[in-house]
Structure 1
C-alpha cells in the first residue's frame, strides 16, 4: 500500500501493531554513528516547553498576516488572504494579526519562523501530521517511534527526581481520533518510564497527583503493591519483555514518589496570586501555561501544553474561520505572553526553550500545497455569500509559522519568508521537521547521531540521523 493512500483505519491499525510490538522489545541498545561518538554540542537549554496549537493554525491569520480584506457578501474568496488587520510588534518591520498584541509585545525576546514546510503525507489527516511533528517520523512505522519529549527524557533524565521528566498538559483521549492521538503520545521502544505524565485538566492538576478521594494512604499503598504484582503475573507479563515490564514498574514508582512529595504543590494552581491566575485563566490552555511555569520552577524537563485537537473544534476551522479564530486568539494571547515574561523575570528563560507550533497551516482556497493536489475536505465556494465561509478553512502545508523563545534562541529575530500573494507559500529559507527537532536537540546538548539498535537497525532521533540544526536560529540569549 502506498503511503499516500493510507486512510485513518490503516494508520490506526499499523500504529497499534507497532505499539504492541514495542512491548515485546528488549532494552534499546545505544548505537554510535560509524562506530564513533561525536562530541555533544554545548547545551544552551535545560528545559523545553512546547505550546501546541492543535488543529492547524493559519499563519496568515496569526504570525504572518497578509493583506486584510473585510467581509462583503458576494465577494470573491480568492481575494481574501487575511481576515484580520495587521498590527506592529516589538520587532521592527514585523506585524502580527489583530488579537495577538500581547505576544507581539514580547517578540523582542524570541524568534519568529515564517517558513516551516509540513511534509507531503498524501490525504491530510491531523493525527498523521501531528504524529510526524512530534516524532519526526512519517506514520505508520513498524517501530513505535518515541515522542520528542520521550527522547529528551531518556537522554537527559529528570532535572528533579521527583518531578516526571515529560509532562503533557491538556490532552484528553475521550475526544475524536483518540486512538490515533495515543499513537504518538508514547515513549515507544524507549520504555514507559520515559512516556508522558498526563494532566488532562490543569484546573484539577492536584487531583492527578494524589490518591482518589476517600482512599487513605494505607489503602493506596496496598493498591500500589497489588499493581506491581499484576505487572509480573498478568497477561502483560506474557507479552512484554523484562525491560518493558521494569520500565512500566519504574514509571509507577516515580508517580508514587510524586504523590508523597512536597513538589506536588507545583500542580496546585490555587496557590497563585489571584491577579496572576486571572491573566492565565482563559481556559484549560491558559491554565496549562501557568502550570508549565510552575513545573519549570520545580525542575520538569519537557512540558507540552496543548489547545487540544478535537475534530472541527479549536484551530480545526472547517467553517466560521474568522469568528473561531477570534476565540482562539483570546485563549492563547495573554497566557503565552505572560509565560514568557514570567520566565524571563525569574531568570528561567535563558535555559528554557519555549516553542509554539502547529501541525500545518490553513488557506481559504488551497488544500495541501499548490503544486501537489490532495483531496479537498471542505466545501469552500468561490463566491462568499455567507459569513461562515469567511476564514481559512482548508489545510495548507507549504508555509507555517513557529515561535521560539529562550534556551539559546536568537532574540528579536525573524527567519524565512512566505509570499505576499496566494499561494502564501514559503519562498525563503524553508525549514522542515527534522531541522526543527535537531535544532532543539542541539540546544539541549544531545548529539546529532544519538540512536538505538531496534530490530537490528539503528533508530535515530531524526530519520537516518540526517537532521541538521539550523544554527542561524541559535544565538546569544
Structure 2
C-alpha cells in the first residue's frame, strides 16, 4: 500500500493532520476481514516477545558495534571520531561491544547480534516517522491506521492467558511531552480495534494502580460504574460517528480489563511484592523497573510487551549534544536491567520460548545525516570540524545506513554475529543488510505468524509486512 505523498518540506502539523485523518477513518471503518485464502503459518519458536525499545536513536558505534576508539582531545578532527567508548570483550570470543555494557557482555553467548539493520531516509529523518515505520512496518501517513506490531500478535495469535492483556506498553508517556500525537498514532491497535491495542503503563512502579479500582471506591460501586458506562455507549446518540466494529471492540477491551482486576494475575503488576534485592538488581530507573515488570507479565501470559527508555525530544538516546556523557548515562540505565532480564528468563525456563529484541529507530553518526548520498535535512545542533568542547564529543546525527539489533531466546542462534558495517566512515551495512520489513518478518516468523498474513480494510489488502513481501532471516534461527 502506497503512503500518502509527503513533501520533504512538509511541516509536523501537516503530518499530524494526515495522521488524524487516518485515525478518524479507522473509527469509521468496518471490521477488517481476514484473507479468504487460507494462510499457512510457520511453527512458532517463541510464545512471547519482549521489545526493549531504545527510543531516540541508539548509536550502534557507542553500543553494539564499536569502531576505532577516539578519546576526547581538544582540536582533534571530528572526522576521526567513530566511537567514543573502547571495545570490551564479551562471553563470545569474536564479539566485542562498547565499554559500559559489561553486564550485557556477559550474556552475549545467549544472543544473536545483527549489525546490518538498515532504514530508508523517508524524505525527512524525523523520529516520529521512523518510529511509526519501525513499529508498524509502514511509512506514515497511511490511509488507514496501521496496527502496531504488538497488535498484529494480539489479533492473529490471541492472548496466551484469557485475563492477561496480549499487548502491553511500558514506560512511554503519551501526554504532555513533545511529539505526543505522533507517538499515539502508532501505539494503537489501528484498524483492528481497541481490544487489540496496548495496555499503557507509563510508570511501571505504579502499574498496580491500573489493575485495581480507584482508591476509596468499593468494588460494587466500581462494577456499577462499569455497567453504567456500557449503557451510555450502547445508548449514545452519536453512535454513527463510530462503526459498530470499533464500538464493540472498545466494549470488549473494557470487559477484558474488568476481568483482569479480579484475577490472581493482577498481582504480577505489583512490583512492591518483589524483594528489595530483586528490585535493586534491575535498578531504580523506569526502564529497569519496566524490565522487571515485563518479566512478571510474560511469566503470567502476556503475548507482547514493549519496554522503552522513553522518547522525549533531546532526551535519553536522542543525543544531539553532550553525546558521550548522555551515552554513558544510558549505558548505566540499560546495562544491568537487560542482563538481569535475560538471566531471570533463563532461570525460570522462559528464555527459549521468549523472543527478546533490543532495537531503535536508527543509529547515529558524527558527520553524516541519513546515509551516503542522502539529501535529508541536517538536524545536528553541533557543527564543527574539530572537537572543541566535551559537548561535541559523541555521535549526534541521525544515521540510517547501519544499525544494530540484538535478539535473545525465542529460537534464535546463540553467540553469533549476523551482518557487518564498514570499519571506516561511512559506517554503512556492507554484509547481509536487513530491512525493517525483513526484520519484522523474522519476528513474526518466530512468533508463528506468516509475514504475508493479510486483512482486507476498506476493500483493500493490508499485510503484516509491507505488501506481504517481508522475508525472515532464516540464517539466524537455531
Q: Same fold (TM over 0.5)?
A: yes
Matching of residues 49-448 of structure 1 within 5 Å = 49-173=50-174, 174-234=176-236, 237-378=239-380, 379-448=382-451
- Which of 16, 20, 34 is 2:20 aligned to? 16
Residue 235 (structure 1) shift = 6.0
Structure 1's consecutive aligned runs of 4 or more residues displaced over 6 angstroms after TM superposition are none
CA distance in 1, matches of 2:373, 2:100: 32
Alignment TM-score, normalising by the size of structure 1? 0.97
Deviations 1:346-366 (A, max 9, x none): 110111000000000001111
Alignment TM-score, normalising by the size of structure 2? 0.97
Change in CA separation of 1:5 and 1:474 when aligned onto 2, cut-off 3 Å: farther
Contact 1:368 1:397 in 2 (8 A): yes
Deviations 1:393-431 (A, max 9, x none): 111110100000111111111000001111111110000
Deviations 1:286-339 (A, max 9, x none): 000000000111000000000000000000001000000011011100000000
CA distance in 2, matches of 1:344, 1:94: 21
Contact 1:282 1:332 in 2 (8 A): no
CA distance in 2, matches of 1:235, 1:396: 50
SS in 2 for 1:198: strand
SS in 2 for 1:69: coil
Contact 1:56 1:360 in 2 (8 A): yes
Contact 1:282 1:335 in 2 (8 A): no
SS in 1 for 2:186: coil
The answer as to 2:47 corresponding to 1:46 is: yes
CA distance in 2, matches of 1:319, 1:40: 46
Residue 229 (structure 1) shift = 2.0
Contact 1:364 1:380 in 2 (8 A): no
SS in 2 for 1:139: coil
Question: Once structures 1 and 2 are overlaid, which stretch shifts more, 208-217 or 194-203?
Answer: 208-217
CA distance in 2, matches of 1:230, 1:21: 23
SS in 1 for 2:456: strand
CA distance in 1, matches of 2:352, 2:7: 41
Residue number in structure 1 paired with 2:30: 26
Change in CA separation of 1:119 and 1:91 when aligned onto 2, cut-off 3 Å: same
Structure 1: runs of 5+ lacking an equivalent: none
Contact 1:169 1:199 in 2 (8 A): yes
SS in 2 for 1:227: helix
